Chain A
């Protein structure tokens, strides 16, 4: 599964730490998701969508 998190984060000029703080996860978790090493759970994917104000399918591509 691929995602646009790095690009969306860059558009908002957020650091990984800033996004992690908003999601209430560690920076390492944001990095693992961005690099595609870890696919988030559905609840975390919903939180990501809420933080970016988008639908899940606009962020993740199967």
Chain B
């Protein structure tokens, strides 16, 4: 069976609806990450003046972030029950580990350490979510 261009560019599992929803989510997430990085750079370099212009640009990025959430929720609601369970376990793992990490880092800072600051809570939670999805998928015998 020949694979579509979208399947070759971004191979994902699941029903055709799942694949469409996952691609939309991943593309929006990549756009969000790229836009966030570029805006951060532009603000840091002073290309975009601080104050209202920078806040306006940041709001646009926030809107893109909401689009990512919408795309993820659509994927979550339209996927089948096993994929939903795997996602839920991944989110639970990411949230729980992320909270522990934030509290742990707060204690370390109180103690005078500053090493863990290099890993932001957001990146840590996202990584923990990915590990959680991998563990859940492995448990149910699904290739992640």
Pair B15/A32 contact, Cβ less than 8 Å = no
A-B contact pairs, 12 of them (CB 8 A): A24-B80, A25-B15, A25-B80, A28-B14, A28-B142, A28-B143, A29-B80, A29-B81, A29-B83, A29-B142, A37-B140, A41-B81
Q: Which A37-56 residues have C-beta < 8 A from chain B?
A: 37-38, 40-41, 44
- B143 proximity list for chain A (CB < 8 A): 28
Q: Which of A24, A28, A32, A35 has the most CB of B within 10 A?
A: A28
Pair B13/A28 contact, Cβ less than 8 Å = yes
Q: Is A2's CB within 8 Å of the partner chain B?
A: no
Q: Is A59's CB within 8 Å of the partner chain B?
A: no
Q: How far is B141's CA from A41's CA once the two chains are assembled, in angstroms?
A: 17
Task: Name A residues whose Cβ lies closer than 8 Å to a Cβ of B.
Answer: 20, 24-26, 28-29, 31-32, 35, 37-38, 40-41, 44
- A25 proximity list for chain B (CB < 8 A): 15, 80-82
Pair A32/B80 contact, Cβ less than 8 Å = no
Kindly count the residue-residue contacts between A and B in the assembled complex, taking CB atoms under 8 Å apart. Answer: 45
| Distance from A17 Cβ to chain B, minimum over Cβ atoms (Å) | 10
- B83 proximity list for chain A (CB < 8 A): 26, 28-29
Pair B141/A32 contact, Cβ less than 8 Å = yes
Binary contact readout B1-27 vs A (1 if CB under 8 angstroms, 0 otherwise): 000000000000111001000000000
- B14 proximity list for chain A (CB < 8 A): 26, 28
Neighbour of A26 across the interface among B18, B85, B141, CB < 8 A? B18
Q: How far is B80's CA from A40's CA once the two chains are assembled, in angstroms?
A: 11
Pair B81/A44 contact, Cβ less than 8 Å = yes
Q: How far is B83's CA from A37's CA once the two chains are assembled, in angstroms?
A: 13
